Chains A and B, each alone.
Chain A
Amino acid sequence: MINNRRDFLKQSLMSAGALALMNAPRLSAASDKPPMRFIFMHRGNGLWPRVCVPPSLDAKTMEREKRKEAIDVDLEGHDLPKWLAPLALHKENLTILQGLSGKMCTTGHHSWCSSLGVFKANERLSSIKWATVDFELAKLFPSPAKHIELACFPDGGGNARGSLEGIATGFSARGPQQPNYAFGSPRIALEELFKSVSTDPKARTQYQLDRKVLEFVARNEGATATLLAGAEKIKVQNYADSVESIRERNLKIDAMAETIRRHVPKLDAKYLDPAVSTFDRQVGHSEVLLGALISGLTNVVAFTVDELGHRYTGIPGIEGEKVNMHDVGHNKVIGGLKAETIRELARTHHMTLVDRIVKRLKSVPEGGGTMFDNTMIFYFPDGGETHHSHGWEYPFVILSGDKARVDLRRRYIRLPNYGQPGHSTLGNFYTTLLNAYGNPIEHYGALDTGLNKFGHGQTGPIKQFLKT
């Protein structure tokens, strides 16, 4: 032991050998624990808080609900709202969470990345402040594809206006000013995500060509870098390494070919048809999502189930209509169906998708349980409480597997109302998720300037949800 500077001077001149041993690298044990999976399903046109309330709550609790006071009840013994009936079998895993505000987001008709990133996205690239929460979670649970985004793009107004059949700017963000790309149709998603095992000769050729170019670029840039030194070398080497890492990722995907091949979604022709209805498009996307998760291509999926600017087709009873969801937001009767009915039909269909996902994941064995044990699904509105939302409320329907690290199972929760002590925002909720899964961030998301005057503080996780 060295206690003073004399010892230091003596030892510093003769301690080389010992230090070499002291600095031996630490071995890190590889983990075979299954990763967590996260599915963010968001939809446009708002989600009314009133339709998320279990109808069987007692009168006293209903009064509290009306006054938007805090509620936390066990869902056991309670009826679910009718549109949530497809989830009845999964009540053990279900939480309806109400009372989160998001006034720091862009609200109203179109909110783009706002509700996933907790900032005002303003439909402007420069407004994207940071990676959206799904990307932050993807960093914690890496996978070959890192993150996959699927969307029923708006084809009318609003951002992100993508081609229904193409790959276009999505609703998630990879980092500041870096919007992600989303697959607009099950067909394009299938082609791109599973191209390594495609049976289509044209796709296989394209796959080989892309591989060839990447190999070429990696070699080319690597050769340039070797001729340089210092900072200039790093500038090129960094780029060459990035190309190389994509190649390595591709190699990993190639090595997983057998697994991927087994889980390539088997979609009927109608789901691949460019004229696929919205309802079927959503089913197709759900199948792609399942294929990507189960094959291990990704652990995080963002799924824009719909957006206000998306013109719906395939709604039961008015299948032939191309329904403008903005009109629905303004309570118009379309094809003889009331707007509220159309809303309910769409929501119910969304829940059948969630049911499909949960059931399938529950059928995949993993780590002594099922894949669903390590999964969380979030269904929520991108703009808030209604068509012309202000961000007062973002209701969430959450499905959590047994091994989720947040305490959100079989409950109906209403958090204290805006401005009240204990009130929470989207930022608090995402901070909870990130903290629970290993990102110690103090607070995720922008702050709400309007909340400040209440003086209750608005940063940090929602502690009651964190499992101790």
Chain B
Amino acid sequence: MKWDPNSFGQLWLGVLIFTVAVDVASAAQKKPVFSVSSETTELLESYCFSCHDADSKKGGIRLDNLEVLALKDRLNLLNKMQEKLYLKEMPPSKKKAQPSDTERQQLYQWVSAELGKHNASKFKDKLRYPSYGNYVDHEKLFSGEIKDKPFSPARRWLVSPRIFHDRVMDVFRLEGRERTGFATRQFSGVKNPFILPEHSGVRDYDVTMLDGGHLLVMLSNAKWVAGKQIFAARLKTDEKESLLNSLSNKDRWYPKVTPVAFEAIVLKGGSPTDDEMMAAVQEQFDCVLRRKATDEELAKYVELLRASIVLSGNAEGLRQMLFAVLLESDFLYRLEFGGGEPDEFGRRKLTPYEASMAISYALGDRSSDPGLLLAVAGGRLETKEDYRREVERLLADESYYKGPVDHKISGKNMRSHETTHPKQVRFFREFFGYPQAAKIFKDIERSDGYYQNPGRGTLGTPGFLIKEADRVVDWYLQYDKNVFENLLTTEEFFVYHDKDNETGRKIISEWTEAYERLKDTDWKKNPEGVLAEHMEFIKTKDSLRRWVPEGGHQRRTFLRFMHFFSDTIGKGRTPFTTVATSHGYTYHHSTFYSLPPTPHRGRYERVEHKNFKGELEEAEFWDYPVEQPFKISKRKGLLTHPAWLIAHSSNFHTDPIKRGRWIREKLLAGRVPDVPITVDAQVPEDPHKTLRERVESVTNKAECRKCHQQMNPLGFPFEIFDDFGRYRLDEPLEYEEHLVAKAKKKNGSNIYKTKSVSTQGELRGTANPNLDGEVSGPFDIIDRLAKSERVRQSIIRHAFRFYMGRNEMLSDSQTLINADRAYVKSGGSFKAVIVSLLTSDSFMYRK
């Protein structure tokens, strides 16, 4: 038999079915027995025992006494064996005696069968999880030698938090402005039961399942929703007064219309008829599950409804039935099972309705748009061409999915970036992992007072940086050429940029004109007079409308503006297009791009005071580029964006290991094992060494090097950026004994002796000898990565996971190759990748 790792999938399924059968029959059967066939024994003899018997016991592991181990220990060991065999990590490659593919598969099957007896294989379960995505052989995936027909397993896929919110809106059948309003608002009685994991990389997988926590939240959600569904109808009864009085200030909203079938029961004097009850059940199935109830379901729910009405009357009884349908697990899952007859490969195509939902949820957070529903009704969502037509139509649609990239980063002083297809941006933000910056808390003093940690109502500095990274991603997605390469190498960024280029130009033009006109007047001593004299001119400028009298602050505002202009226009610099004393002004993060600072509001707040001497102390401020994106020196791509650099740092220092690991796993499709639990991963303190030197002092040890060589040489070049993302050549040795000077301002940085930063690193793993090799620094490694075919394919693999909600299998090879070709052929269009993925067999077929 030929060794075929792809057959593992089928084997697991077999094991699983076997396990289920064992479970069912377990009461009647004996305990499973550990056994080894003579053939397996020979294999163990030939390939394992020389290192793992009582005498050698390499790595503390013995395989010759498996049967006497406690069951738990044996299963642990077998799990390790299963993983090592699958990954071909054992026997080690340096061993001359290697099993043939057939022998390896034989051993693997034996281990799997033993684990299967106890339903104890952790590895097969692990492979479904995000961190195991790269375990599938990259070369094989893109070799073209795999000819299997792609499919996705028939599945329930738990809805994402955004989709859940959308489904609740569907239950209430919200449309128009009300729906738009709730796109960024929560229902007061609905708590989202779902949390996506927090890590770099694709987060929404089909592996998550409902549990008790979800149920607890859903119980209260469902009760609230059911009550609101019939609230409007109950207002037509004599309960009206008491119902309105029961609404609290925080919970006054209710849908203004109750579906007819519900209202009929609420308003009926006596018991409802069977037909009325059936209509109500069907209505709720349509609202919640977007399908009709089957006869069996109908019978069950009508019985529940009838019994509930007997107990508590029409309205309360109805509410209980609505409540029960809302607790159906299918409300919380996306169902993708396929329909019709299986094809010759045993696959079923998604039903047109399933396909419409799958396409719509892939492109946004909303269920099918009217166009998709029409296609379903007209039998025009069957073929690949049908899928292509609909996907391309929706990609060109600029309104249906339009919305904030992440409403959760919006706060009192900043709104999330909005775009036509936020979900595309979300793929890249998950892939790069830069939103994790919001989870890193910093010591403000180390930032010289510029960093603002996330706080009440604001995500602070990381919030701004995340939004600005989102804008870079969206910019290149809109451009849609060489998207991956541009995101990896762009030297152009958005910083502050709270107004579009045209508005910004207009403001600067008006401000410059005003300053030039007024700078030589007596504006400091006689602001009122100058204002009065030039009021007609001022009134012609939109950006100066705050100088026009509308209260008692005209003088103050004028003085603040003019000092701000003197600091900037007066020194030949362009000011930021929002004045530092504006209400809620919190722009202080330019320094994290290694740009000069912008003025703090406190600088101008005192200029109206009678003790103010008339002159501000000299200070260097940023010459603000109105046209954005703009070039920033010593930055190249998102891996040098402060949001990414902070996200891949610790609270206290940079994290070259984390940065290197990200490159290994996300760009090079590589694997790094988890830190063994026996290792206490600590970077030693040493006041005379840089962080790199301290890291190397432990990770260069033989037992650590094997894993760390996969990460450290990739991460070290980025040591030229500190843990705030600032460019540097020297690293301060932040120890008391190296203190040179104490900070001169509140929350300012102390000055310490420094040591040069080394940015030498090494790139291995592109499978291209022209790219692999020593690198001189971050820009060198970034340029090489951007040219790598492997990097491009790795990003395609992650896009596959994002759009399919699962890890790739070897049988997805054709899908991945086609997506990669589509990208190359289209000149680097990400839309082409999406179209290719959403018209692939992996997307269309279930098995």
Contacts and interface: CB of A to CB of B under 8 A. Distances in A.
B304 A11 contact: no
Contacts of A27: none
A178 B213 contact: yes
A7 B49 CA distance: 13
Contacts of B70: 22-23
A238 B210 contact: yes
Nearest to A168: B250
A108 B457 CA distance: 13
Interface string A80-110: 0000000000000000000000001010101
Interface in B413-456: 441-443, 445, 453-456
A449 B442 contact: yes
Most buried by B among A161, A205, A230, A246: A230
Contacts of B30: 20
Contact of A5 (B13, B33, B54, B304): B54
Interface stretch (B169-177, B323-331, B555-563, B640-648): B323-331
Contacts of A229: 16-17, 20
Contacts of B13: 230
Given A120-B453, A209-B320, A453-B734, A232 B155 contact: yes
A220 B300 contact: yes
B455 A205 contact: no
Interface string B121-162: 000000010000000000000000000000001111010000
A464 interface: no
B307 interface: yes
B651 A3 contact: no
Interface size class of A (residues with CB under 8 A): 35 or more
Contacts of A166: 248
Contact of A230 (B16, B215, B308): B16
Contacts of A269: none
Contact of B323 (A124, A167, A213): A213
Q: Identify which of B55, B67, B211, B219 gathers the most chain A CB atoms within 10 Å of its CB.
A: B67
Nearest to A20: B31
Interface in B288-306: 300, 304
B34 A106 contact: no
B217 A239 contact: no
B457 A123 contact: yes
Contacts of B33: 16, 19-20
B701 to A, nearest CB: 23
Interface string B185-217: 000000110010000000000010111111111
B685 interface: yes
Interface string A1-23: 01111011101110110011011
A238 B316 contact: no
A455 interface: yes
Interface string A231-242: 111111011101
B651 A447 contact: yes
A234 B16 CA distance: 12
Interface in A247-298: none
Contacts of A446: 441
Interface string B232-252: 000000000000000010110
Contacts of B214: 239, 242
Contacts of B195: 176-178
Nearest to A128: B195
Given A4-B64, A23-B71, A229-B16, A246 B215 contact: yes
A150 to B, nearest CB: 17
A367 to B, nearest CB: 31
A328 interface: no
Contact of B53 (A4, A108, A217): A4
Q: Chain A interface mostly helix, strand, loop or mixed?
A: helix
Contacts of B248: 163, 165-166
A179 B192 CA distance: 11
A174 interface: yes
Contacts of A174: 213, 216
B35 A163 contact: no
A414 to B, nearest CB: 26
B826 interface: no
A342 B342 CA distance: 76
Most buried by B among A12, A126, A161, A246: A12
Nearest to B161: A177
A122 B454 contact: yes
A447 B442 CA distance: 11
Output the residue of B13, B66, B68, B317 with the most chain A CB within 10 A. B68
Contact of A453 (B17, B312, B443): B443
B41 interface: yes
Contact of B308 (A163, A209, A243): A209
A358 to B, nearest CB: 32
Given A5-B53, A209-B316, A449-B442, A12 B36 contact: yes
Interface in B460-517: none
A122 B455 contact: yes
A19 B324 contact: no
Interface in A410-451: 446-447, 449-450
29 contacts: A3-B54, A5-B64, A8-B64, A20-B33, A23-B70, A120-B455, A123-B456, A163-B250, A165-B248, A166-B248, A176-B195, A177-B195, A206-B312, A209-B311, A213-B323, A213-B324, A217-B328, A220-B324, A221-B328, A229-B20, A232-B155, A236-B156, A239-B209, A243-B327, A246-B212, A449-B652, A450-B445, A452-B443, A455-B685
Interface of A: 2-5, 7-9, 11-13, 15-16, 19-20, 22-23, 104, 106, 108, 110, 120, 122-127, 161, 163, 165-169, 174-179, 181, 205-206, 208-209, 212-213, 216-217, 220-221, 224, 229-236, 238-240, 242-243, 245-246, 446-447, 449-450, 452-453, 455
